[in-house]
Amino acid sequence: MTPRKGERPPLPEPLEVSIVDAHTHLDACGAKDSAGVSTVVDRAESVGVTRVITVADDLDSARWAAEASTWDDRVFAAVALHPTRTSTFGDTEKAVLEELAAGERVVAVGETGLDYYWDYSPPDAQQEAFRWHIDLAKRIGKPLMIHDRDAHEDIARILDEEGAPETVVFHCFSGDAEFARRCVDAGYVLSFAGTVTFRNATTLREAASLVPSYQILVETDAPFLTPHPYRGRPNEPYCAAYTLRDLAQVRGENEVELAAAVQANADRVFRLKTVTSSDIGGRAR
pTM of the model: 0.95
* Residue 221 known to bind ligand: yes
Half-sphere exposure of 159 (CA within 13 A, CB side): 27
Which parts of the chain have pLDDT scores under 50? 1-3, 277-278, 281, 285
224-248 confidence digits (pLDDT tens): 999 999 999 999 999 999 999 999 9
Beta-carbon contacts of 105 under 8 Å, excluding residues fewer than 6 positions away, are 66, 69, 70, 75, 76, 77, 275, 279, 280
The Cα-based distances of 17 to 49, 99, 273 in angstroms read 9, 35, 17
Q: How far apart are CA 275 and CA 104, in angstroms?
A: 7
How many whole angstroms from its chain centre is CA 158?
Answer: 21
CB 171 within 8 A of CB 110: yes
257 is in an annotated binding site: no
The verdict on whether residue 255 carries a ligand-binding annotation is no
Instruction: Give the distance from CA 46 to its chain's centroid.
Output: 20
CATH 3.20.20.140 at 19-274, yes or no: yes
The per-residue pLDDT for 1 is 31
Is 228 annotated in some ligand binding site?
no
Nearest to 97 by CA among 82, 79, 85, 121: 79
Domain boundaries, the chain: 19-274
**Per-residue confidence (pLDDT) for residue 276, from 0 to 100:** 57
Q: Output the pLDDT for position 69.
A: 98
Each residue's pLDDT tens digit, 274-283: 765 445 545 5
Residue 79: CB partners within 8 Å, gap ≥ 6?
Answer: 55, 56, 62, 65, 66, 97, 100, 101, 106, 109, 110
19 has which bridge partners? Answer: 49
